[in-house]
Structure 1
Amino acid sequence: MVQTLAAAGELQRDLQRELTYDGLRAAEAKGNKGGRRPVVTAAKAAAVRAAYLGGQSIAGLARDHHVSRGAIRTAVADLLPEHVAADAPVLAPELPITLDMPGKVADFLRATELDDAEQAALDHGQAVRRGTGYTLRVTAAPALHRQLLNRCQSLDGAGAIPAQRKARREYENRVSTLGDPRPEHHS
């Protein structure tokens, strides 16, 4: 039985090979060439770039150099209008993040002078009861959470009661999970 299966597999491979060669011969008869498309060589790249900057079209350059328009676009990619430099950091917009702010921190922030965005974030926060206290579920951009954390910096000082210091540290731990806001620079 194994020999029968092996013979059937060999027959299938032979048939597939013949069909492939028939297809290649038919394509060659129609004038199509197989293989990888030609690319713009390093020697031609400078001339192609100069001609493109001189105003010659991509299609015209492709005809002159016997390559595809895609090959020309690849050679002049950094000169195209829609090109964004790879070195320029592209910052993604910060999406709002929901964090639980301890009630002692929220009470302190409500008693301080806040800007409009900070005040709106606190006003839209949802109070969640926790035993005798509460947490305020605040949805805001990570930068705004960092601003609010900086506003309650004085809770870490000697004048604050231990429960406030603990609450501020807890909020700081939650904000620190958001990551570093500065883009990384690799040297």
Structure 2
Amino acid sequence: MPDHAAIEESVPVLELPVTLDMPGKVADFLRTTELEPAEQAALNQGATVRRGQGYTLRVTAVPAVHRQLLAHCQPLDGAQGVPAVPAQRKARREYANRVNTLAGNTP
């Protein structure tokens, strides 16, 4: 029927959970911040993997939650006149690199 045009509905694309390793220094910082319930649940359900002197938290969540967690740890880069601790800054950068490799990530 030529009178009827197909209506495209904007259906949100469902994101599948992905597992990323979060450096322990980032996880420790996030545990001291106020998080949304989904972010807190992802952090609480993470599996601890011992790495030499420190540890890595293996977190499974949708990419949006990983991006939100990354946004929460921005102060580790030394914001608001607080000096950055090099090890924390490096840990945040490592997690940022992992989050940024996710497909469909927009800065």
Report the TM-score, using the length of structure 2 for normalisation: 0.86
Aligned counterparts of 2:85 and 2:71: Cα–Cα separation in 1: 18
Q: What are the equivalent positions in structure 2 for 1:111-130 lying under 5 Å apart? A: 111-130=32-51
- Counterpart position of 2:91: 167
Q: 2:7 & 2:32 partners in 1: Cα distance? A: 46
Give the distance between the partners of 2:2 and 2:41, measured in 1 at CA: 53
* Matched residue type, 2:93: R
Mapped partners of 2:40, 2:73: distance in 1: 14
| Residue in structure 2 matched with residue 150 of structure 1 by the alignment | 71
> Aligned with 1:171: secondary structure?
helix
How big is each residue's C-alpha offset from its partner over 1:3-62, in whole Å with a ceiling of 9 and x where there is no partner?
xxxxxxxxxxxxxxxxxxxxxxxxxxxxxxxxxxxxxxxxxxxxx535xxxxxxxxxxxx
2:2 to 49, 66, 70: 49
Once the two structures are TM-superposed, the CA of residue 115 in structure 1 deviates from its matched residue by 1.4
Superposed, 1:29-40 pairs within 5 Å as none
Segments of 5+ residues of structure 2 without an aligned counterpart are none
Measured after TM superposition, the shift of residue 97 of structure 1 is: 0.5
Q: Does 1:96 pair with 2:13?
A: no
Q: Which residue of 2 aligns with 1:62?
A: none
Structure 1: 5+ residue stretches without partners:
1-47, 51-75, 183-187
The percentage of counterpart residues that share the same residue type is: 65
For the aligned residues, what is the CA RMSD? 1.8
- How far does residue 179 in structure 1 lie from its aligned partner after superposition? 3.5
- CA deviations 1:144-187 (Å, max 9, x no partner) are 000000000010115221000000000000000013445xxxxx
Q: Amino acid of the residue matched to residue 159 of structure 1?
A: P
Q: How many residues align?
A: 103
Match of 1:108 among 15, 23, 29: 29
Aligned residue for 1:49, secondary structure, equals coil
Q: What is the rounded CA distance, in whole Å, between the counterparts of 2:39 and 2:103 in structure 1?
A: 20
The structure in which a higher percent of residues are helix is 1
Give the structure, 1 or 2, with the largest relative contact order (CA under 8 Å, sep 6 or more): 2
Question: Which amino acid in the other structure matches residue 169 of structure 1?
Answer: R
TM-score, with structure 1 as normaliser? 0.51
**2:34 & 2:53 partners in 1: Cα distance?**
27
Distance 1:49 1:121, change over 3 A: same
Task: Name the SS for the 2:22 alignment partner.
Answer: strand
| Residue identity matched to 1:130 | R
